[in-house]
Every structure is written in structure tokens, then in C-alpha cells.
């Protein structure tokens, strides 16, 4: 690699800065250095960036290399496709890329694994190019709850008219993803981006053209506080925002060609930097919780894609959605199996078909159809945000309690018909049998902490 005239991969030394301004009594700021890679996606996946036959740096596998990148931790983690293929699928899912088209190439800015260790990787940036110019910037955000979300920022579409000095583009859009337990999900993001000036497939020898940078500001909801005092502080004229609550900077300060010598020097100079992301997050969380006395917000369930579209009737929001979802727990798996068994029996008893629709696009819809010779043709559609829906159904003593807690209070699921839901999850009188002593005892335990309706 070091003998190549043109390099399509770089080692970046970055400066990360976080500044919290609200609440004023808990204001806090910190700064630290990180290392990330900026690599051309096509060159990466073709193996052209491998160092020392892939032993020092390589793409594809987790083990057998000192530094590495692979497809699985990015975007849809259940898919075995390449990063480019998964990126194309997300762009098409959000109607940004026609099915008969593709993009030219993309710069991938991310933190690699070391000795097979893959950290949290809080922010991965894809700079996608078409016809030699920047087309779309994709931000992939991971939180500490093992969830991932993407924002797709289209160049020339819904951009803010004023961009801070040193940046090329800026967008303001409503928050969709729960990143930190010290913030709720309300408010707005303003994202400013400085991008490489040309795609990786263009021959060059000096570097990516300009050092990439991402500047993120979190504004409160305008209904929860006063608006900015001056027009200069308003990032977007399209969307009203509240006060500036948090600002975060990620700026590359040095870009070195991805060569064998530079990779070895990086490991020698910063041997633990790629292992330190999670300890730094936990350390700052300790300060915010115990020194700054910040409130902690419970993790909400991820938004469904359909609800995001419905909340944006003006079509001005930045496209985005979940790409990584929490895995189903053993109890959720057990509850789901039992609930589906029960619903299957009730479908044959009532003649009502049931569709269980997950907001996670990686989970297939469960369709339970009634016998065709039945007198009814009703269909109950249940859309749920997470497998916790099944634990609520399994543990609540009645259908009314399920609706009160899971739908009306937690907004965890919705139904196409309340009447059909009550029919499916209520026993038929003629099939009633007196419960055993054990069943009565367990039912009593379940009712002790639930209000009667």
C-alpha cells in the first residue's frame, strides 16, 4: 500500500468535544482524542486496502488480523450482505435511491476493531457520492442500549440557509432516537458537516481534500422553554427550536495515508485508544449522574418507520429509522411462543384472523388465518414496537389491562379494532373451566399490583 501513488484510505486523528449548557446548574464540558479510519467503500470491500496480506489490517473477518473492519456491525446487523449492499438497501427503503440505480462510491468514517474487539462505535459517517459530487451524508448512531439508528442527509434538500464557517452543509430535524439516558427524545438536532471534496474513486495523492468534521447541536422543544434570544442563534427558519442544550464536535485534525508504517505507528502511539470509548462514556455518565445530579430518563421503545412518516406531513423531516434493535430476551421469547399458541387457538375458536406486525423490519409478520369455512372474515392487526408486547400480554390478567397498560399508557402497541382484540384475548364462557389452585394463586399475584377496571 505504501508504494501506491494514490491512496483511498486514511488514518484520522480526531478531537471530540462535548458541551452541555442545560440545565445551567449541571453544565459540563469535556474533550478527548480518538482515532478513526476514512476509507473508500469500494476499495475496502475489494481488498485493495489490506495491509500485510490482511494480517495487519483487512476487511471481512473479525479474527486473524490486528486491525479490521467487517460488514456485520454496520446497518442491518442480521444481514450478511456487504456494507455497500446494506447501504443501498437503506437508501432505497427511504426512497432516496431508485431500484435501477446506485451511487458512485462512498467514504466510510468509522472506528475499526483491534484484535477482534469491536467497540460501541457511537458515530459512523457515510459520505456518498454521485457523478463526482457529494450526494447524501448518512449518520449511523449507536447507543449503549445495543440499538442503532440512521439519519439520511440529502445534499440540497431541506438544508439550512446559513452554515457555520468551516462547514459545507447543515440540516435541522426532529429527534428520533434515544441516545443518552440524560436526555429525553424530544427536541431537535442541527447537524453541520464538512465532507471530503471528491469521491474515493478519483485519483489523488495529497489527501481527501478537506478533513471531515461533524458538528451536532441539540435544541430543546420550543414548547418546553424559551426560544433563542437572537435570530443569529436560530439554525433553521423551517423548524422552530428551543434553547441550545448540548453541542458535540467531531473534527479530524490529522489525516495520514493508510499504510503499513502509519498503522504500526498508530498502534505504538495510541495502543489503547480504540478500547477507551466505553470507559470514557461510563466515566462521563458517572460525573453527570453523581456530580452534576442530572435526571435519568427511561429508554423509550424505538419509533416505528410508519409513525415517523405520519409525523411529517410536510415532508420536511430528514429521513431516518432504526437499523439495529435489541435482541429478544429469553423471557420475551417464551412469552411470544405462549401468546402465539394462545392466539392460534382463539383464531380457530372465533374465526377472526390475526396479524402480528413488528416495527422492526427484520422481524417477519406473523399471520394466523382463520379457517376459510368460517362465518366471519374479520382481521385483527396488532402492530407492536418491541417484543415486550408479548410479556405484557402474558403477565396482565385481562385484555382490558393489556390495552390500558401496553397501548394507552406505554404506547407500546396499537390495534386495528379494540372489540376484536377483546374477543381474541377474552375466554369464551362455554369453554370456561374452573382454574386450579396453582392457577388461582398465580393469577392473584399478577393482580396485586394492577388496578381493577
Shared domain check, 431 and 288: no
38-50 pLDDT per residue, tens: 999 999 999 999 9
Category of 293 on φ-ψ map: left (φ > 0), alpha (ψ -120 to 50) or beta: left
Instruction: Give the span between the Cα atoms of 107 and 403, in whole angstroms.
Output: 47
Shared domain check, 293 and 207: yes
Mean pLDDT confidence for 1-19? 78
Shared domain check, 251 and 136: yes
Number of H helices, E strands in the chain: 10, 18
Domain hosting residue 365, numbered range: 330-447
pLDDT at 33 over 80: yes
Shared domain check, 317 and 426: no
Mean pLDDT confidence for 85-90? 96
Name the more confident of 167 and 239. 167
Band (pLDDT 50/70/90 cuts) for residue 438 is confident
Cis amide leading into 23 (omega within 30): yes
Shared domain check, 176 and 285: yes
Residue 105 forms part of a structural domain: yes
Bridge partners of residue 256, in order along the sequence: 11
Band (pLDDT 50/70/90 cuts) for residue 4 is very low
| pLDDT value for 442 | 74
Between the alpha carbon of residue 28 and those of residues 25, 34, 189, 249, 291, the distances in Å are 9, 20, 19, 14, 10
Residue 206 forms part of a structural domain: yes
Shared domain check, 76 and 16: yes
Band (pLDDT 50/70/90 cuts) for residue 3 is very low
| pLDDT value for 412 | 92
| pLDDT value for 102 | 94
Band (pLDDT 50/70/90 cuts) for residue 241 is confident
| pLDDT value for 314 | 42
Give, for 384, the enclosing helix (H) or strand (E). Answer: strand 379-384
| pLDDT value for 347 | 93
Is residue 331 classed exposed, middle or buried when 0-12, 13-18 and 19+ CB atoms within 10 A define those classes?
A: middle
Residue 187 forms part of a structural domain: yes
Shared domain check, 296 and 221: yes
Distant-in-sequence, close-in-space partners of 446: CB < 8 Å, separation ≥ 6: 395, 396, 397
Shared domain check, 61 and 96: yes
* Of the candidate ranges 268-282, 313-327, 402-416, the one whose mean pLDDT is the lowest: 313-327
Residue 4 forms part of a structural domain: no
Mean pLDDT confidence for 310-330? 74
Shared domain check, 398 and 300: no
Instruction: Give the span between the Cα atoms of 318 and 155, in whole angstroms.
Output: 11
Structure pTM? 0.87
Last residue of a domain, one of 324, 339, 373: 324
Category of 277 on φ-ψ map: left (φ > 0), alpha (ψ -120 to 50) or beta: alpha
Mean pLDDT confidence for 172-194? 93
Mean pLDDT confidence for 296-300? 88
Name the more confident of 315 and 8. 8
Residue 199 forms part of a structural domain: yes
Q: Mean pLDDT score of the chain, rounded to an integer?
A: 88
* Of the candidate ranges 17-21, 149-153, 295-299, the one whose mean pLDDT is the lowest: 295-299
Last residue of a domain, one of 291, 324, 357: 324
Residue 288 forms part of a structural domain: yes
Band (pLDDT 50/70/90 cuts) for residue 208 is low
Shared domain check, 252 and 349: no
The owner of cell 505507528 is: 265
Mean pLDDT confidence for 371-383? 82
Mean pLDDT confidence for 82-91? 96
| pLDDT value for 68 | 96
- Rg, C-alpha atoms of the chain: 25
Shared domain check, 432 and 355: yes
Band (pLDDT 50/70/90 cuts) for residue 320 is confident
* Of the candidate ranges 3-12, 24-33, 50-59, 292-301, the one whose mean pLDDT is the lowest: 3-12
Residue 1 forms part of a structural domain: no
Name the more confident of 430 and 326. 326
Domain tally, the chain: 2
Last residue of a domain, one of 290, 324, 358: 324
112-135 pLDDT per residue, tens: 999 999 988 999 999 999 999 999
Residue 2 forms part of a structural domain: no
Shared domain check, 113 and 230: yes
Percent of the chain scoring above 70 in pLDDT: 87
pLDDT at 407 over 90: yes
pLDDT at 180 over 80: yes
| pLDDT value for 447 | 66
Nearest to 306, CA basis, from 357, 355, 354: 357
Mean pLDDT confidence for 94-118? 94
Instruction: Give the span between the Cα atoms of 252 and 261, in whole angstroms.
Output: 20
| pLDDT value for 134 | 97
Amino acid at each position: 500500500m505504501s508504494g501506491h501513488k494514490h491512496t483511498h484510505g486514511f488514518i484520522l486523528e480526531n478531537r471530540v468535544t462535548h458541551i452541555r449548557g442545560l440545565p445551567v446548574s449541571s453544565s459540563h464540558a469535556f474533550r478527548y482524542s480518538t482515532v478513526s479510519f476514512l476509507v473508500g467503500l469500494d476499495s475496502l470491500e475489494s481488498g485493495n486496502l489490506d495491509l500485510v496480506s490482511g494480517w495487519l489490517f483487512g476487511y471481512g473477518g473479525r479474527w486473524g488480523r490486528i486491525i479490521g473492519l467487517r460488514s456485520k456491525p454496520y446497518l442491518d446487523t442480521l444481514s450478511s450482505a456487504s456494507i455497500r449492499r446494506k447501504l443501498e438497501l437503506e437508501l432505497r427503503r427511504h426512497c432516496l435511491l431508485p431500484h435501477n440505480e446506485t451511487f458512485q462510491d462512498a467514504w466510510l468514517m468509522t472506528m475499526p476493531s483491534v484484535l477482534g474487539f469491536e467497540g460501541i462505535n457511537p458515530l459512523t459517517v457515510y459520505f456518498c457520492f454521485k457523478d463526482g459530487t457529494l450526494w447524501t451524508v448518512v449518520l449511523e448512531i449507536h447507543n449503549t442500549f445495543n440499538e442503532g439508528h440512521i439519519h439520511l442527509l440529502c445534499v440540497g434538500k431541506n438544508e439550512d440557509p446559513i452554515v457555520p464557517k468551516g462547514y459545507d452543509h447543515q440540516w435541522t430535524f426532529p429527534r428520533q432516537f434515544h441516545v443518552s439516558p440524560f436526555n429525553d427524545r424530544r427536541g431537535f438536532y442541527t447537524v453541520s458537516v464538512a465532507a471530503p471534496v471528491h469521491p474515493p474513486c478519483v485519483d489523488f495523492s495529497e489527501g481527501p481534500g478537506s478533513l471531515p468534521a461533524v458538528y451536532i447541536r441539540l435544541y430543546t422543544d420550543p414548547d418546553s422553554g424559551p426560544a433563542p434570544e437572537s435570530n443569529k442563534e436560530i439554525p433553521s427558519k423551517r423548524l422552530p427550536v428551543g434553547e441550545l442544550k448540548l453541542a458535540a464536535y467531531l473534527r479530524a485534525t490529522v489525516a495520514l495515508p493508510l499504510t503499513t508504517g502509519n498503522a504500526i505507528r498508530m498502534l505504538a502511539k495510541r495502543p489503547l485508544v480504540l478500547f477507551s470509548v466505553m470507559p470514557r462514556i461510563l466515566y462521563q455518565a458517572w460525573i453527570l449522574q453523581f456530580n452534576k445530579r442530572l435526571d435519568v430518563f427511561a429508554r423509550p421503545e424505538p419509533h416505528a418507520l410508519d409513525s415517523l412518516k405520519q409525523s411529517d406531513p410536510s415532508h420536511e423531516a430528514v429521513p431516518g429509522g432504526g437499523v439495529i434493535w435489541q435482541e429478544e430476551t429469553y423471557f420475551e421469547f417464551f412469552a411470544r411462543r405462549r401468546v402465539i399458541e394462545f392466539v392460534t387457538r382463539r383464531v380457530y375458536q372465533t374465526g377472526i384472523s390475526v396479524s402480528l406486525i413488528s416495527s422492526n423490519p427484520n422481524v417477519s409478520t406473523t399471520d394466523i388465518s382463520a379457517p376459510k369455512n368460517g362465518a366471519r372474515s374479520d382481521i385483527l392487526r396488532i402492530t407492536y414496537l418491541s417484543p415486550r408486547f408479548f410479556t405484557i400480554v402474558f403477565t396482565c390478567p385481562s385484555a382490558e389491562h393489556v390495552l390500558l397498560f401496553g397501548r394507552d399508557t406505554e404506547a407500546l402497541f396499537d390495534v386495528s379494532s379494540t372489540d376484536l382484540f377483546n374477543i381474541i384475548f377474552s375466554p369464551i364462557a362455554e369453554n370456561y373451566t374452573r382454574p386450579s389452585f396453582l392457577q388461582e394463586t398465580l393469577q392473584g399475584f399478577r393482580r396485586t399490583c394492577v388496578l381493577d377496571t
